[in-house]
Amino acid sequence: MENKLLKRIVIDSEIMLGKAVIKGTRLPVEIIVEKVAYGQTVDDIKVDYPFLKDDDIKASLLYAAKQLSHEEVYNV
């Protein structure tokens, strides 16, 4: 399931300067994650972007979580 979701996210230097986007769109993952952070529901987001599927939103959140899991933390 994880790989299936992550295949919905693409990174292409020719699209949005190489930012992670929903496959087949120019919609950056960061916009989806930010909307969720501000309290928008899946249905709210789909009103703004009717071409999105539920799995696109799930994929965006999973992608963000995976990116953060690679974050290195150093004691200062």
The secondary structure element, H or E, covering residue 33 is helix 29-37
pLDDT score, position 74: 87
pLDDT score, position 1: 84
With bands split at pLDDT 50, 70 and 90, how would you rate the model's confidence at 76?
confident
Tell me the whole-structure pTM to 2 decimals.
0.88
Taking only the tens place, the pLDDT of each residue in 20-71 is 999 999 999 999 999 999 999 999 999 999 999 999 999 999 999 999 998 8
pLDDT score, position 17: 95
The secondary structure element, H or E, covering residue 22 is strand 20-22
Residue 8, CA distances (Å) to 53, 54, 60, 74, 75 in order: 10, 11, 8, 32, 35
Domains present along the chain, CATH in parentheses:
2-69 (1.10.10.10)
